[in-house]
Amino acid sequence: MGTPPDRTLACLEESYLTPTVSVVVPALNEGRNLQQVFGAIPAWVLEVILVDGHSVDDTVEVARRCRPDVRVILQNRRGKGNALACGFAAARGDIVVMLDCDGSTDPAEIPDFVSALRNGADFAKGSRFVAGGYSHDITRVRRMGNSFLNALVKTLFAIRFTDLCYGYNAFWRDLVPAIGVPVGEAGEPVWGDGFEIETLMNIRVARTGARIVEVPSIEYKRLSGASNLRAWRDGLRVLRTIVRERRRSAVDFIYVREAAIPRQGSRPVVLPDVGSGHDPRSLGRAESVVANADGA
């Protein structure tokens, strides 16, 4: 796998001080939910990329009506993983945020994720199970499965996540080539195209040596419609993903951190305030929302 593209120190410093943000939103027949979700996305976001899974409802029309500047991309295969890969490839912002369009992830938390990255993280991992996080949606079976899979990843990879399967994450865009989630060719789904994408990404990011922090997040029930997630089927796919990733050589995962992102010991570095108001690019809230992941 490749490493992030070379950039000059001057360009790095500029993007670090005023990073632009791309929000990637995979969608399949979510027209009834988009208005509320899009309405809550902060105005300072550079772009919202709706990756449509060939919806048969009015998903695309609602998206364009709610946000005329939305970028609509059709995914080339099926599944959430492929949709995210298509969105990552199209993103132009310095930071990429993964957001669900069913209302389960709150766009109002985007500033917390961006602040975590601005304070020194490479990858901001949402967690429902750290202080300040919660889930209004997870069932007992899914919670037990998540705990088992967390423990398995800790044993096999020495990585300590509190919430392995949660998909609300944000990261610097130049991390994408290093973790390897390519769009690939059109056709039948391939491994990583489904809901296992979150686990695959989390493990690969950790194995690159990238700095991960966990950000408290509250998961809500979907606004309307039925989820495409199937606990047993997708849980087994996640289990197979863990086994497959364990067989991969660690040398496949290399991320060269750029020197423009300062770090000091084990704590995030809080830089001087360069802005005002509630724009997270001013760095105001980062230290209070970042929780270090023990094993990353």
Q: Where are the alpha helices (DSSP H) in the chain?
A: 9-17, 31-39, 59-66, 80-90, 110-118, 140-157, 176-179, 197-207, 231-247, 286-289
Average pLDDT of the residues of the chain: 79
φ/ψ bin of 209: left (φ > 0), alpha (ψ from -120 to 50), beta (otherwise): left
| pLDDT score, position 274 | 28
d(CA 85, CA 51): 9
Q: Where are the domains of the chain?
A: 9-258
Beta bridge partners of 215: 126
d(CA 181, CA 278): 32
What is the reported pTM? 0.77
| pLDDT score, position 281 | 40
Average pLDDT of the residues in 62-77: 96
CATH 1.10.3720.10 is held by the domain 9-258? no
Q: Tell me the per-residue pLDDT of 126-177, one tens digit each, with 9 for 90 and over.
A: 999 999 999 997 778 778 877 888 889 888 888 889 998 888 999 999 999 8
Three-state secondary-structure class, residue 148: helix
Q: How many CB atoms are closer than 10 A to CB 173?
A: 20
Confidence of residue 44 (pLDDT cuts 50, 70, 90): very high
d(CA 240, CA 228): 19
Predicted confidence (pLDDT) at residue 6 exceeds the cutoff of 80: no
Q: Tell me the per-residue pLDDT of 268-281, one tens digit each, with 9 for 90 and over.
A: 333 223 233 344 44
| pLDDT score, position 250 | 59
